[in-house]
Structure 1
Amino acid sequence: MTEPMITCPKCQTAIKLTESLAAPIVESARREYEQRLAQKDADIAKRETLLCEREKEIVRAKEAIDGQVAEKLRQERDRIVAEESRKAKLALAADFEQKRKELADLQEVLKQRDEKLAEAQKAQAEVLRRQRELDDEKREFDLTVEKRIQEGLATVREQAHKEAEDQLKFKVLEKEQTIASMQKQIEELKRKADQGSQQLQGEVQELELEALLISKFPRDTIEPVPKGEHGGDVLHRVIGHLGQSCGTILWESKRTKSWSDGWLIKLREDQRAAKAEIAVIVSQALPKGAATFELIDGVWVTHPRAAIPVAVTLRHTLIEVSSARQTMEGQQTKMEMVYRYL
């Protein structure tokens, strides 16, 4: 093995580097290297210490920032909750105010409808009062005519009878015109009162039946029975071609899901009280075995769709019976006059 050589920097002499000669140099180099290594370790430890301190400061700063952010978030959340709560309260208050206004408007509409209904009832009562006055005048006039006929001779009787018929015709025409005018007013008031409102189904069918009878038989007297009084729903007084009263039909309107036999008994009692010749029940629900109309225990029962045809038939029957009765009465009167003359 070749020994290492070193050169003298002054004389440029090559000298063999032996262990004894190189030991101090190696030792010196080793100590210098160890010092540098120790210094580097110290610098590294110092740097690590500084890094640890900085990391701790960063952690503390981060924790402080996190705390501030959390506080900000909490404050912002509280602010948002308070703002939304305020908005919800305002919306609830506005909705409540709107509902209160709507309720007030509904109450005002109901009040107006009640007033219109009261006006219609008042007008209807006025029509009934005028009808009674016309009936009283007719009875008084009939009594006057009868007295004149009994007191006068045949010629006077014929003249008085003719005058009575003329006056009665005018009275009847006047009465019909008055009734038609009042009925138009009542229908108008009912129409105004019924707009936008819901009535009970039975009352609707009753008014519809009354309107159909008035429209179909304008010469007859159609009177609704006042609420709270016994006697059916509508009184139909049949008037003949010469203005004579031919009889009365009592109408009862029912709009239920099932039939009741008790209606027949009650309507027969009402018929006797009203002194009506015929009683009719108009019902959506018919008794077992009845398709459209039927005569049951002296009471006619019909479905609403067949009410008008039944009314036409019954009215014609009353007029025919009344004409036959008057013919017989006229024959008896003539026989009495001949007998008296003889």
Structure 2
Amino acid sequence: MRATADKSRVRRGTHRTSGKRGIHVAEQSISCPSCGKKIPLTRALRADIEASLKEEYDRRLEEERERAEKDAAKKAERKLAQEMGSLKDQITEQAKALEDAHRLELAMRKRERELERKQADLDVTIARQLDDERKKIVTDAQQRLTEEHRLKDAEKERQLADMRRQIEDLKRKAEQGSQQLQGEAGEGELESILRGSFPSDDISGIGQGVRGADVHHVVVDARGAKAGAILWECKNTRHWSNDWIAKLKQDQRALHADLAVLVTACLPKGCTRFAIIDGVLVSDFACAASLAAVLRGHLLQLAQARHAAMNKEEKLELLYRYLSGVEFRQRVEAVVEAFTAMRKDLEQERRAAERQWARRTKQIDAVTFNVSGMYGDLQGLMPALPSIPLLESSEGEIEAA
């Protein structure tokens, strides 16, 4: 309406003017309603049009801005919905992995308890087998030995009485020969005394430069069988040396002698005439002959006892050899080694399971912690986002750990 009125006024106020070249141009004007002054129509119309255009521009700009904001909001909502869907899928997968890990841990713990139970059963079984085997061996040996001992006790007592009489006779002979050896210091004199006292024995001197003692005395019984051996060493010095004992024991082992005797002019401190030092008999020269008779009688007695109870001794020896021999030890070692190997395998399985549990627990804790943190960040941006109890409980367990 306003534009129509303005145009009407423009038409009514139109008059022509002449220019410099004599051309008349129509000048449009309008009258001010207040003061009646003529105002050129072109300026007012331009301002009005500019205002109208500016208003239209502002309106369209506002519409475009609102439209852009709506589009951006829709895009953001779609993107957020996609991210939420992906996050929910990821959380679901992590929750499933956590549940699988818990099931695996329960299975591994059950397996560990089963291994411990089997190990305990194995310990008891092996202990029972060893006890049964030992009891069986001992029972069989006791039965055999009891029967043999009952039959030969009487014979043994008679033989012991005969041996006692022989020992007394040998002691009397030794006392008679002790005066001959008193004061002598050489192995030659000792060898002569031994040969004179025991002519049936095999007595030989060990020459100088040859490794060994001075006299090797082999005791021979009435049947001409070897009853044992005595190794003699003579020392005619003023000072005692402990090294003599060790050397004589080495010579004894080398010559397989049953007894070793050191005859010396200088006895060790605390010894008057006779002593036993580390399994070696030590004597002065005055007691050497008597000691030889006693030792010889002892070897004869042992030989006769072994001969009288040969079967019994053989069985005892067989039993002793079996229990102290390589075969029995190897059997026991085989059982123990098998038990040790099984125990070692069980320990290795347990340690491997514990390492695997620890590694998977750390991985699960890290995943759960990161997912909980990411979901917490989203809840901070979107308070209306629902909570997931499984994540909250898992996060609490991690913090407590």
- TM band (smaller chain): 0.3 to 0.5
Structure with greater Cα Rg: 2
Q: Structure 1 length normalisation: TM-score?
A: 0.40
Q: Structure 2 length normalisation: TM-score?
A: 0.35
Q: RCO (CA 8 Å, sep 6+): is it higher in 1 or 2?
A: 2
